[in-house]
Structure 1
Amino acid sequence: MKNLKMSIAVMLLLAVSVANAQEKHKMDHSKMNMGTMNMDKMKDVKAEAILTSYSILKDGLVADDSKKTAQAALKLEASIKTFDKSKYTKEQQKELADIFDDATEQVQHIAKSPIDHQREHFKTLSQDITDMVAITGTKSTLYEQFCPMYDGGSTWLSTNKEVSNPYYGSKMLKCGKVQREIK
């Protein structure tokens, strides 16, 4: 009887130990999955800063405000310069370098030009930023919008689904449509 009680006690302790080990393993595994999920959801902070500066620049064009647009272009240039490409593959680093070289040239023109010329350079800049997002991703939902009237058709990115046209500003504020959603 004494041996039976001892065996039951040992088995109970063993069962409790195994259960605790399994629970700890589950918790560790769920933490690991949570970490992976958070990493997936966290996008490149420097890319988000570029998108924010781009959005402010776009809003300056929407508002027909050449000065605000020029200031935003300088901030965008600074954001581009601080971008860390080392997190990306060699091929992506090369693509990002090309994108940022071109984007820098566009924002330098935007920073010192009248509004009509700013809008011309914004078209190429918008394509550069769209190309960047294709590589870096984004934590925000973006809307690629399209104006069929400007320069044979032109796109831009917006955080708002509602169209506010940066190519024509107040002249044709609602000209355009959402072409696609980027998540």
Structure 2
Amino acid sequence: MKRKNVSMRMLTLGLVTVMTMSCKEAKKEAVQEKNAVTVEAKTNTRETTAAGTIIDSYLELKDALVADSQENAAKAGETMLKKIAEFDMASIEASEQSELKAIIATAKDKATQITKGDIATQRAHFEGLSSAIVDFVAIAGTPTTLYQQFCPMYNNNKGGMWVSAVKAVKNPYFGSGMLNCGFVQAEIN
């Protein structure tokens, strides 16, 4: 029995070591494969305040997923839906409004799914929401610098991207399971 416990501990230690090394190696490979290009978002004064409230609700949602809180993620999703509904596109250039409407529709859909799903479902829809937020910021602007981050281990090693207000990586896809797995891909300002 004692021998089995020792074997199980060794196996667990080995798995943790392999996962840690895989994350570090995948990070290194992803950095080499991609020259992180800074996403140049329009920093404009026209809607940065309204855009900022949408971004704030997104960041609240990200933090809830980092904390493994399904309930808080659902609440943040509801807040985000409210902030999206309040967003006025009147000051967005006419040539960009059609694209922004499509981006907002995607964000609404993903936020709606997050309000009613379990944490695994919330995380799956968060990935699409993150892409929509990057596209949203490219048109509407951002009042603060944001960091596009990436975890190469998410989604069966296909990876997953998210946006953060700080450079320090706090992974919303794995939460406490792999909290610091990932790296900064780009700076958005």
* TM-score, normalised with respect to structure 2: 0.74
Return the alpha-carbon distance in structure 2 between the equivalents of residues 49 and 93 of structure 1. 19
Return the alpha-carbon distance in structure 1 between the equivalents of residues 110 and 153 of structure 2. 21
> In the alignment, does 2:172 pair up with 1:162?
no
Provide structure 2 residue ranges, at least 5 long, that are not aligned to the other structure: 1-42
Return the alpha-carbon distance in structure 2 between the equivalents of residues 92 and 76 of structure 1. 22
Return the alpha-carbon distance in structure 1 between the equivalents of residues 100 and 140 of structure 2. 9
Within 5 Å, which residues of 2 pair with 1:48-127? 48-127=52-131
The residue type equivalent to 1:162 in the other structure is A
The residue type equivalent to 2:167 in the other structure is K
The residue type equivalent to 1:163 in the other structure is V
Local SS of the residue matching 1:143: strand
Return the alpha-carbon distance in structure 1 between the equivalents of residues 79 and 46 of structure 2. 23
Provide structure 1 residue ranges, at least 5 long, that are not aligned to the other structure: 1-38
Local SS of the residue matching 2:162: strand
Q: 1:40 to 1:74 in 2, by over 3 A?
A: closer
Corresponding pairs, count = 145
The structure that is helix-richer by fraction is 1
RMSD: 1.4
> In the alignment, does 2:183 pair up with 1:177?
yes
Return the alpha-carbon distance in structure 1 between the equivalents of residues 83 and 66 of structure 2. 21
Return the alpha-carbon distance in structure 1 between the equivalents of residues 172 and 99 of structure 2. 26
* TM-score, normalised with respect to structure 1: 0.76
Asked if structure 2 preserves the Cα contact closer than 8 Å seen for 1:42 and 1:139, the reply is no
Higher relative contact order (CA 8 A, sep 6+): 2
Local SS of the residue matching 1:129: helix
Local SS of the residue matching 1:58: helix
Asked if structure 1 preserves the Cα contact closer than 8 Å seen for 2:66 and 2:176, the reply is yes
Question: Displacement, 1:128?
Answer: 0.3
Asked if structure 2 preserves the Cα contact closer than 8 Å seen for 1:69 and 1:110, the reply is yes
